[in-house]
Amino acid sequence: MDAKSYQPIVDQIAPKRPVLKNCMTAFLTGGIICAIGQLISYVYMYFFDFTERTASNPTVATMVFIAMLLTGFGLYKKIGQFGGAGSAVPVTGFGNAVISAAIEHKSEGFILGVGGNMFKLAGAVIVYGVFSAFVVALIKTILVSMGVLEWS
């Protein structure tokens, strides 16, 4: 049997992927995670007198912490199985990835196992973020000194 006659048979037998259902669950899962983040932001603004701009940092920290707790209790994996790519919203996905690596290498000890493997992903993200912020600040400083932009 050649490849041309084999492929139609495989297409008939293979189960159809529920693409629309997967897209909808990913959209809803990501949307719910973002809505929770927005709710947390409103809590910081209402109860702790943050502005919209200053509430963003504690909101991000809180979302990462919640994702890490859910990962530690094994609940984030279930959310990921249901929501697929929707659970990979950058902030919570980052927290999940860091703690997952730490849990996976726990048997190797706290320093070399947990610490060393936890920062394989986090280290790259942090270094890239710091370097990107430096480049953007450098460009802004140059443009301000040339009079192209105003400092704000």
Tens digit of pLDDT for each residue in 108-152?
777 777 777 777 767 777 778 888 999 999 999 999 898 888 876
Q: What pLDDT, on a 0 to 100 scale, did the predictor assign at position 152?
A: 63
**56 burial level (CB within 10 Å; 0-12, 13-18, 19+):** middle
Same domain, 86 and 124: no
**Residue range 10-26: mean pLDDT, rounded:** 91
What does pLDDT average to over the chain?
87
Say if residue 19 is in the same domain as residue 50: yes
- Tokens 């199985």 identify what position? 81
Count: domains in the chain: 2
Least confident of 39-48, 95-104, 116-125: 116-125
Q: What is the pLDDT of residue 44?
A: 96
Q: Based on the fold, state whether residues 68 and 92 are members of the same structural domain.
A: yes
Burial of 8 (0-12, 13-18, 19+ CB in 10 A): exposed
**142 in the same domain as 92:** no
Same domain, 125 and 99: no
Answer yes or no: is pLDDT of 105 > 70. yes
Domain assignment of residue 110, yes or no? no
Q: Per the domain annotation, does 109 fall within a domain? A: no
Query: Which backbone phi and psi does 138 adopt, to 5 degrees?
Result: -65, -45
In contact, 121 and 98? CB cutoff 8 Å: yes
Residues 6+ apart with CB under 8 A from 54: none
pTM for the whole structure: 0.69
Quote the domain boundaries for residue 74: 3-104
The verdict on 100 and 120 lying in the same domain is no
**Are 11 and 79 contained in the same domain?**
yes
